[in-house]
Structure 1
Amino acid sequence: MSARLNRRQGGPRITVGWGMDGRTAQPVVSGVPTPLVGRDDAVTALSGALDAAARDGFRFLALAGEPGAGKTRLLGELVTMAAQRGCTPLWGRAAEFEQMMPFSALVDALDDHLDAQGPDVAEALGPAQTVLLASVFPALATGLAAGLAAGDDAGLALALDDDRSGLARYRLYRALRHLVDAVAGTSGLVLVLDDVHWADDSTLEFLDHIVRHPPAGPVLMAVAYRPAQAAPRLATLARAAGPRGQETAVGPLSLTEVEQFLGPGVSRGRGRALYEASGGNPFYLEALARMADTEVASLPPTVRAAIQVELARLSADALRVAQAAAVTADEFEPSIAAVAAQVPPAAALAALDELVERDIVRSAGARFRFRHPLVRQAAYESAAAGWRLGAHARIAAHLAELGAPATVQAHHVQHSGSFGDQRAVSVLVTAARAVTTHAPATSAHWLQAALGLMPDDGATREDRMALMMELSWAQGVSGRLAEGRDTARELLRMLPDDDWSRRGRAARLCALMERQLDRPHEARALLLDELSRMPNPRAAAAVPLRMRLVAESMMRVDFLAAQAVLDLMPDDADGWEPGLAVAVAALRPMPAFAAGRTGDALRYADLADRLLAAAPDEHLSEWLDAIAWLCWAESSLGRYGDALRHFDRAAAVARATGQSYILTNLLAGRAKTLVAMGRLPEATATAEESVEGARLLDSGQQLVFALTQVCLAASWTGDDEAAVLAGDEAVQRGVGGGEVWEATARYARGQALVNAGRYAEGAEAVLDACAGFDQPQLDRGTLLQACEALAQAAACLGNDEGAAAWAARAAQIDDPSLPAFSGFAPLARAHALRRDAPAASARAAEQAAALLASSERRLDSGRALLAAGQAHLEASDRTRARESLKAAAEAFEACGARALKTQTDRELRRLGVRVGSGPAAGADRGRDGTLGLSPRELEVALLVADGLTNQQIAARLFLSVRTVETHLSRIFAKLEVTSRVGVATALNRRN
């Protein structure tokens, strides 16, 4: 007989052969599922979710209930219904004793399917994503290895990037989402994940990702968990999925249902006693009912005791194999259980026959699993602690003999390794490094286990400190910032006082984590304390700490303090580490810019650019937090090409060196630059990646950075709802009070409200973000944009005097040395003049368009051309209006600014210009039947056509009534109708 290593352990497929002594394996009974009694509401929810997934695409269903409540039985009913409807049902389960195995439930669910359908799935995914997913699924890894063995070197060419940032797992989650879509095909997929309260962090992160970025196909993802043991992220998944999510509570059975469950063979009196003893819990009820020869009065007080009674009735060999199987894995193979139990293979098979007959375990093909996790837990706990340790050791030794990867051995090694066992330490460290990129939480767990086995003496001290630095990093990128901070502080206590270089690295890492934890004062205190320990605070070793102090001061908008520290630092000196001079130069532009010394800032930026170009990547990795400031400064100065070039290079180094805190910041800055340049699709993708990275880190600061750019990108794209939601979340995070990034988030939200037509509310928010222009924290360029937004809002509200005041304020702020922003002053003036002096307004708008276009701000140049066209139209100059509006439409089309393109097309049609068969361009209307509406607008329009009121639509779509009203106003404009009846008529024409 042959058997594979347990698939959930994630290694390559290893075949184990052992003799049967002439014994032929007999068929085994897999166990009869308990009858489904009651649960009408839950079954209706299951059926409804299946219908919704088939009709509308992705749905997420969560079943929440206490242990033994019947969640697994309901999931079995769901699988049966899915198969009857022609869907592909796949089932996986997380396990209590393998909680650190990365993606264990997903591997359990998908790997056998991939083993059978691997080539088709790989073809659908493409080689790049297949290579990425092969790091998780043994079936794909085996197929990839076979392809390489056959001479196909595409896998090697497409191997994973050397990305140690921890954010490679975001790309892995996207690949997993595409895999789910590929498996679903057109017939649909029901992906069941049971017991996800035991799922590893990587699985939970993926679930969080997929509900926020659902697959396109007919996919129903159903999970079951115990609320009391669920992490907050798990408990909120159904809510995070919005209208696509649903949670159903699975409670106890009623007395009537218990009697039906037990059947007519159980007397009413015993049935009531069993109901009272079990509390209506189906699993407890079943376990107690099995003890038919025991008086109810003498039943054990707990169901665990009842299960122990079941186990006590087993033969000695069967009990030993059950205990060994419980140690082995949630789903186990006879060969491994035999090794753990120290019994011959034939005896193991005989014992398994008995265990199946008693329904302790159930067969799953060539593997077996316990009928319920509580049974496995009882079997595990029934074994003596020392025997369990020995069983883990036997399994670990057996896996090592087979050449199993360290990741397969690690679970058993950590449970059996002895203090000072260098081989165990080596296995755990190797396993930790193998999963670093896609499962940093597991990596941190195994590193901690390795450190726990290492003596703390002179011989191991250096290795121990090196592992602690790795551990601190892994904890940080997995979102355990406080633990990473604590590890870094412990490392500082261990390092010799005169080991300035390593102390500096540890202190900087610790300060970065304190900053991500929104503890800037602690970060600053740590840096000052470390500097005070140095006998020469101006020595080369002190410079990195001083640089971090500069960054902390700039975050607090204390640019004078930042400049004061910089003034004490030379540009270069003997003994400086490679790249340090580049880092110091990179910090200098931003304080100069903030102080209004634009000429100095530009000169510093030129110098930093030259030094950066001459430095190799390996000299930059240590100083990316400083280089990030150069990138942001260049973007703020309007040097967009330089900023993008440096953002991209720094991001590549951050990925390769694992600096995820810097990477999310760099991605947010890159998105900001792309928004300014009008490259909205790129900006949206980059901002969303930054958001995902920040959520993985669980860093409030980085999330606000990222959400701010999502808000702006979505707003200029025309997705007002997404923009305002992102802006609301960024502001409501409540972190960063008094710092520049918090003010920027409030400005972005205000701009989004103005763009959404909520002028009064938006103007108030923008003015608040600018602190009423009384010592504002925002940079000069953003203040100019704020003045233009305020002028536009005032003009749209009919407040020409207010618009003129904001235009005058913009003229005062304008700095000729910042040409990228000079166009906002004349654009603000154009808004103010449009009503009373349209010809002058048009001239001002054309001036603005020319200035903005020359500075690579194509979107804003298009906005100025739109304003010019509207003003020319007001002045009855139809020829020039047509020219300006056509140019504006081209700009918006190129930028991906859908709402502005629609508005411009509407103005062109007023002039008799054909721009397509409807409000949107012909490519958007007619071909796909959307009439130029966004997906959400089309959803609202369809409900309007069905006769629903705004309040009913808001309740149906989980929106506010105001948001529905905003959507409706845009729908009216795009469809060129003025009533709800007109909306219905337009939709009927579409059909």
Structure 2
Amino acid sequence: MGSTPLVGRQNALSALGNALTASLRDGFQFVTLVGDPGAGKTRLLGELVTMAGERGFTALWGRAAEFEQVMPFSALVDALDDHLDARREDIADAVGAAQAGLLAGVFPALATGEERPGADRSGLVRYRLYRALRQMVDLLAGPSGLVLILDDVHWADDSSMEFLDHIIRHPPARPVLVAAAYRPAQAPPRLATLTTTAATRGHEVVVGPLGPAEVEEFLGPSVSRTRSRALYEASAGNPFYLEALARMGHTDVAELPPTVLAALQVELGDLSPDALLVAQAAAVAADEFEPSMAAVAAEVPATTALAALDELVERDIVRASGGRFRFRHPLVRRAAYESAAAGWRLAAHARIAAHLARLGAPATARAHHVEHSGSFGDLDAVGVLVTAARAVTTHAPATSAHWLQAALRLMPGDAATREERLALLMELSWAQGVSGRLADGRDTARELLRLLPEDDYPRRARAARLCALMERQLDRPHEARALLLDELSRMPNPRAAAAVPLRMRLVAESMMRVDFRAAQAVLDLMPDTAEDWEPGLEVAVAALRPMPAFAAGRTAEALRYAERADRLINTAPDDHLSEWLDAIAWLCWAESSLGRYGDALRHFDRAAAVARSTGQSYILTNLLAGRARTLVTMGRLDAAMVTAEESVEGARLLDSGQQLVFALTQVCLAASWAGDDDTAIGAGNEAVQRGVGGGEVWEAIARYARGQALINAGRLEEGADAVLDACNGFESPRLDRATLLLSCETLAQVAAARGHTVESMAWAARAVQLDDPALPAFAGLVPLARAHALRAKEPASAAAAAAEAAELLAAADRRLDAGRALLVAGLAHQEAADKARARERLKAAADVFGTCGAGNLKTQAERALRRLGVRVTAGGDASRLGLSPREMEVALLVADGLTNQQVAQRLFLSVRTVETHLSRIFAKLEVSSRVGVATALNRRD
């Protein structure tokens, strides 16, 4: 790992040692070593390997490479692949067959030769791959721990960066330390923020230059003080440059090369001709290369290559690694690569590509060399690049886009290849969008529009829809609308079949900005069907009709539209739906708004399955968010949280602010009702602070969710103000009727809790005005709002109203709200001195909340029962100790010896939330350690 002495660096060594200790104590840790090229990061990583071995960790090391930056997961494969061959069966058992198949597509050691492309082509397949990778890392760690070292991460591909972000946000349970070294000047922004994202589990070690005294120690007593000072000034204390200059003992101080690359060129110039040729060939071949590949690239016999490698090892240009070799430092490889003539390098890449083809290597292994050696018009090279791109499109779409662009650069622009070029541009636009490069995808779609003939209306409409969808994800709705209108103006017949998809997208854009009149005006110009419509278009138009009708208060009409759309979808095959999922999504949301929760879930699930199989990530994240919102309404909080978190991950992968706000809003609501106030408010704050979607419905819903979370967390005044603001003071509100009705009920509750009975009655009266007899799903919210207002002065009447609300809400499958009504009824009966009925209602409420997973509400119901003399076993100890049920769960697991990370994994919480709970537990139990928690709990009996 390094033959030079380690001088100084005591602070860095101490930080690495502390990270190892923290990993054993608290689980996952993430440390970055940040410094300029040659600063000594790799040398310190070698020390980390030694320290890890002394403490019983398994240490695995991988490195990203400058000339193979697009290779998917290259550093991870380098680190893990040799270690995986003997663990194949264990890994398959641990992660499951589906995830094992995903891993086999990345790691050659896990490949069986029987892998088939999965059904999921969406960007969220990466999320499942990252989860499988995290599980695999957890398995490899075992009880003794794992140190995963990733060097030169500034050269890692996008998928590797996404995985690092994922494992930080969803850390493994066992002791795992990930150490990543990178150059700050070359690091992408995402890499530089990972340590901050890791919070208390993140550690940054800055590796700077050596000082004059350290340089003297580094060089040793054989170098005079005068020369040492000159070498220090020439190298600026950079250890690698210092070492390179020190090798040039015969060079006069005044003639020292001005840069490290120049010094390395001098070092390479001292090699024999054969050794230099093989070094240049090896630099072309790979970061870690086999002698045979270097011989092929150099066009020399194997014996000559081996003799040259002996010289290169002796001169410490390369170092042996098993049966393969690696340059002692990436800078040495770069110097060898750049010392070769450009034309010779091109031919060397071509020789390697041809050799790999003869060996039957997959296109993904050949693509890098084909990209560097292919010539314009070489259709075979184009074929290799396209095949490679399609092979990695699901798990590494950024790499797929890179290779598609390379293929397009080589493809001639003649009539023979025109159709293929157009198809590849559409494919490229999709890959760029899925990989989070929405602006690039938008630009590619616009280039496609430029190339398509003016009269090719169907394909132009498809490209324009895709482009407008990306403009929407980029929070550029005005550009999306202008593009659609421009494309429509080009059509001689605005009512033609090709115009319908563009008009549908216009409808969606109008609905997003709450201009339902404009949406309805466009829909009024569209028939329900036509003879020249392609399959599925009739379903799509039908799916768009319910929401504008519902928004305009034409409820009966909206319900008829929803029923017709339901019938059409039930008889349509999936391939008829795939082109129109953005329209189907509007139907799903409309059904949920109409209280047709069962139909909404069924359609959300089917549309999501189609989106996965066809790679429509933009729609999938939206569908998952809608599904989560419906599950929250139905009181299925655990399932809602899982779905919402998947939507968040997908939105982050897309880098779409709009979709992320959709998803975070649902996390906020699900976590809040589940009793995880910190997670809920954190998600709500992030959703609102994103600052996108101003004036549109989804931005208003995010502000409403945050307000509800604040109220549930006990911050009544602040939360009420936020809810009222989200409703725009009920002056031209952008929220749907159901959310406005919920807001009235919530504001009535807050006003009553603050003793403002008149205000509470006013909110209850406003709820009556919003009620719609045609929507029984929301009818129960009206008597519930009235119950809040009546409790202070007429508790018996309040109890009756709340009981009525509970019955209506339960019938509508709104279990969580039904439980809240039962709680209000029980409390009101208690205040009316009707203890028997109070116990009955409160027990029912506690049961409902337990089924829903609403922890805080269950605690409220149980607390009220205890005041009535009812013995409540669940959470009893927690109450006596002053702990909330969630705090009691955390305390019991801590007392059992679990780390914070393991507690988080067991309870499906973030580590940060566990740490917050633990600090409160310490304060409430008046202890200062985990041992103190265990002692306090042991005394509870």
Shorter-chain TM-score range: over 0.9
Q: Tell me the CA shift for residue 504 of structure 1.
A: 0.6
Per-residue deviation at 1:982?
Answer: 15
Matched with 1:864 is 821
Which whole-Å CA distance do the structure 1 matches of 2:139 and 2:285 have between them?
32
Question: Structure 1 residues 982, 256: CA separation in 2 closer, same or farther (over 3 Å shift)?
Answer: closer
The corresponding residue for 1:337 is: 294
Counterpart residue identity of residue 25, structure 2: R
**Per-residue CA shift, 1:343-397, capped at 9, x if unaligned?**
1111111111111111111111111111111111111000000000000000000
CA distance change for structure 1 residues 890 and 481 in 2, over 3 Å: closer, same or farther? same
Aligned pairs for 1:8-407 within 5 A: 32-141=2-111, 144-145=112-113, 161-407=118-364
| TM-superposition CA deviations, 1:822-871 (whole Å, max 9, x none) | 21222222222222222222111111111111111111111111111122
Distance in 1, Cα, partners of 2:891 & 2:706: 21
Offset at residue 958 of structure 1 (A) = 8.3
| 2:887 maps to 1:933 | yes
State the one-letter code of the partner of 1:832: A
Question: CA-to-partner distance for each residue in 1:915-942, whole Å, 9 max, x for gaps?
Answer: 22644799x999xx99641788899999
Alpha-carbon contact 2:34-2:205 (below 8 Å) kept: yes
CA apart distance, 1:709: 0.4
Q: What letter corresponds to residue 894 of structure 1 in structure 2?
A: T
2:35–2:206 CA contact under 8 A, matched in 1: yes
Is 1:532 aligned to residue 489 of structure 2? yes
User: Is the CA contact 2:779–2:808 (under 8 Å) kept in the aligned structure 1?
Assistant: yes
For residues 934 and 101 of structure 1, what CA distance do their matches in structure 2 show?
A: 47
Kindly tell me: are residues 832 and 81 of structure 1, through their superposed partners in 2, closer, same or farther at Cα, counting changes over 3 Å?
same
Q: Is the 8 A contact 2:33 2:205 kept in 1?
A: yes
Question: 2:780: which partner in 1?
Answer: 823
Say yes or no: does 1:552 pair with 2:499: no
Distance of 2:437 and 2:567 partners within structure 1 = 38
1:748 is aligned, of 674, 685, 705, to 705
Deviations 1:724-752 (A, max 9, x none): 11001100110000000000000000000
Give the C-alpha shift of residue 92 in structure 1.
0.6
Encode CA deviations 1:680-699: one digit per residue, 9 max, x unaligned.
Answer: 11111111111111111111
Matched, 1:445 2:415: no
Match of 2:656 in 1: 699
Instruction: Report the secondary structure of 1:691's partner residue.
Output: helix
Which residue of structure 1 lines up, in the alignment, with residue 869 of structure 2?
A: 912
Residues of 2 paired with 1:475 and 1:982: CA distance? Answer: 50
1:298-697 equivalent positions in 2, closer than 5 A: 298-697=255-654
Query: Partners of 1:688 and 1:970 in 2: how far apart?
Result: 27
* Inter-partner Cα distance in structure 2 for 1:667 and 1:608: 20
| Matched residue type, 1:842 | A
Q: Aligned in 2, Cα 1:201/1:210: closer, same or farther, shift over 3 Å?
A: same
Residue in 1 that maps onto 2:847: 890
- With over 3 angstroms needed to count, the CA separation of the structure-2 counterparts of 1:67 and 1:194, relative to structure 1, is same
Q: Taking structure 2 as the reference length, what is the TM-score of the superposition?
A: 0.95
1:222 partner SS: strand
**Equivalent residues of 1:902, 1:920 under 8 A apart:** no
Work out whether residues 894 and 934 of structure 2, in 8 Å CA contact, stay in contact via their aligned partners in 1.
Answer: no
Contact 1:918 1:932 in 2 (8 A): no
Q: What secondary structure is seen at the aligned counterpart in 2 of 1:572?
A: coil
Quote how far apart the aligned CAs of 1:985 are.
8.3
CA deviation vs aligned residue, 1:313-349 (integer Å, no higher than 9, x gap): 1111111111111111111111111100111111111
User: 1:988 deviation in Å?
Assistant: 3.4
Give the letter for the 2:831 counterpart.
Answer: E
1:985–1:830 distance in 2 versus 1, CA, 3 Å: farther
Q: Distance in 2 between matches of 1:300 and 1:935?
A: 65
- CA distance 1:987–1:812, shift in 2 (3 Å): farther
The one-letter amino acid of 2:607's match is A
1:722-761 map, 5 Å: 722-761=679-718
SS of 2:579 mapped into structure 1 = helix
Which one-letter code corresponds to 2:42 in the other structure? T
Within 2, Cα distance between the matches of 1:451 and 1:925? 68
Per-residue CA deviations over 1:791-841 (Å, capped at 9, x if unaligned) read: 222222232222222122112211121211121222222222222222222
Match of 1:779 in 2: 736
Measure, in 2, the Cα distance between the counterparts of 1:656 and 1:120. Answer: 29
Gaps of 5+ in 2: 897-910
Conserved? CA contact 1:668–1:706, under 8 Å: yes
Q: Tell me how far apart the structure 2 counterparts of residues 421 and 982 of structure 1 sit (CA, whole Å).
A: 68
Which amino acid counterpart does residue 260 of structure 2 have in structure 1? Answer: V
- Whole-Å Cα distance in 1 between the matches of residues 889 and 152 of structure 2? 35
Report the Cα distance in structure 2 between the residues aligned to 1:120 and 1:740, rounded to whole angstroms.
48
How far 1:275 moved relative to its partner?
A: 1.1
CA contact (8 A) 1:925 1:932 kept: no
Contact (CA 8 Å) 1:902, 1:919: kept in 2 or not? no
Equivalent position of 2:901 in the other structure? none
Seen in structure 2, the aligned counterparts of structure 1 residues 981 and 907 have a Cα distance that, compared at 3 Å, is: farther
Q: Following the alignment from structure 2 to structure 1, what is the Cα–Cα distance between the partners of residues 626 and 741?
A: 19
1:755/1:608 CA distance change after superposition, 3 Å: same
Deviation at 1:118, TM superposition (A): 2.5
1:911 to partner: Cα distance? 2.4
Kept in 1: contact 2:894–2:930 (CA 8 A): no
Among the aligned pairs, what percent are the same residue?
74
Judge conservation of contact 2:922–2:928 (CA < 8 Å) in 1: no
Q: Could you say what secondary structure the match of 2:179 adopts?
A: strand
CA gap 1:930/1:812 in 2 versus in 1, 3 angstroms: closer
Equivalents in 2 of 1:390, 1:60: separation in Å? 42
List aligned pairs for 1:947-958, cutoff 5 A.
none
In the TM superposition, residue 285 of structure 1 has moved relative to its aligned partner by: 1.0
* Structure 2 match to 1:21: none
What is the aligned-residue RMSD (CA, Å)?
2.4
110-119 or 201-210, larger mean C-alpha shift: 110-119
Q: TM-score by structure 1 length?
A: 0.90
5+ residue gaps, structure 1, are: 1-30, 149-155, 943-956
1:989 aligned partner: 936
SS at match of 1:89: strand
SS in 2 for 1:191: strand
**What is residue 945 of structure 1 aligned with on the other side?**
none
CA distance in 1, matches of 2:89, 2:166: 26
Query: What SS does the aligned partner of 2:498 have?
Result: helix
Q: Secondary structure at the match of 2:60?
A: strand
Alpha-carbon separation, structure 1, partners of 2:314 and 2:812: 78
- C-alpha separation between the residues in 1 aligned to 2:720 and 2:930? 31
Paired amino acid for 1:821:
F
Change in Cα spacing, 1:542 to 1:240, as seen in structure 2 (3 Å) is same
Assess if the C-alpha contact under 8 Å between 2:891 and 2:933 holds in 1: no
Is 1:858–1:891's contact at 8 Å kept on the other side of the alignment?
yes
Structure 1 residue identity aligned to 2:593:
S
SS of the residue 2:312 aligns to:
helix
Give, in whole Å, the separation in 1 of the partners of 2:376 and 2:330: 31
Q: How far, CA to CA, are the matches of 2:436 and 2:877 in structure 1?
A: 43
Give the superposition deviation at 1:902: 2.1
When residues 344 and 197 of structure 1 are mapped into structure 2, their CA distance, relative to the original with a 3 A threshold, is same
Instruction: Report the CA distance shift for 1:984/1:359 in structure 2 as closer, same or farther (over 3 A).
Output: closer
**Number of the residue aligned with 2:900:** none
Is contact 1:933-1:971 (8 Å) kept? no
